[in-house]
Amino acid sequence: MKEKAEYLREKLNRGELVVGGHAFFTDPAVTSLLGYHGFETVWIDAEHCAFTLPVILQHIMAASDAGTASLVRIAWNDQVIAKPVLEMGPDGIIFPYVRTAQEARDAVACCTYPPKGIRGFGPRRAQKYGAFSVDEYLEQADRSILKILQIEHCDAIDQLDEIAEVEGIDLLVVGPNDLSASYGLLGKTRDPRMMEVYDHVAEVCKAHKMPFGVSLGAGDLESAREWLDRGIAFLSCGDDISYMDMGCRMTFDFVDKYKQEKGG
């Protein structure tokens, strides 16, 4: 019933690269576009952007239509926030700003039914609106969604060994902006001190056989190369805003160059 999550989990565990993009605008056509252009995942950003629950559902459905996996980043590591999103049947849920092993366990518990977790029962789209029986749904519910945690704070770096040992995590994703901010280096994501932190993340995740990745902007290709060299299995690179920004800049750079060539 949820083939995408299982396929991606197996791919991540083999260390094969999964490439995704981000959707920041509320129009679900953005998610369709990213999916049709070949991104394996679309990061639906309900943490920083103006996504209501109905809009999130529309993006999840658009992702399914385009053949890409929907990953919803919720606003906080909170059971109440996670619950209605889980019932929409996304292929993955992203918990931001996880700082401790206990917070990591809490995130996994949000996604897992008792007795292993605390997820309340009330699937809607996740159960295909009743097209599958409860038994059929429960048989695959736990493996049908990727549980993704973001490493965005120095506290998480201090507990990274413990976090990586938490059962049920499918992927750890570094958020360079908030992570650098926690070290007093906001906006300096490529500072040498941060490079040491990133290298440490790679070492710890490899030691625990934990798939890891990074979230980057569209133009940050130098950082993307460095992360690929570190052995990431997940690269979420670029979003609707940054791709449009790049296209606008390319147009006006061309116009300015043309004017200079013509002496005008």
DSSP 130: G
Cis check: omega of the bond before 115, within 30 degrees of 0: yes
Residue 159 makes CB contacts below 8 A (sequence gap 6+) with 99, 100, 101
Closest residue by Cα to residue 101 from 182, 45, 164? 164
End-to-end CA distance of the chain: 61
CA–CA dist 174, 78 (Å, integer): 19
Task: Name the burial class of residue 21, with classes exposed (0-12), middle (13-18) and buried (19+) by CB atoms within 10 angstroms of its CB.
Answer: buried
**Cβ(109)–Cβ(26) below 8 Å:** no
Alpha helix ranges (H) inside the chain: 3-13, 29-36, 53-66, 79-87, 101-110, 134-140, 154-158, 160-164, 176-182, 192-207, 221-230, 240-261
Q: Is 48 designated active site?
A: yes
CA–CA dist 232, 234 (Å, integer): 6
Q: Which of 22, 37, 48, 200 is catalytic?
A: 48
Closest residue by Cα to residue 84 from 142, 26, 133, 126? 126
Residues annotated as catalytic (active site), given as ranges: 48
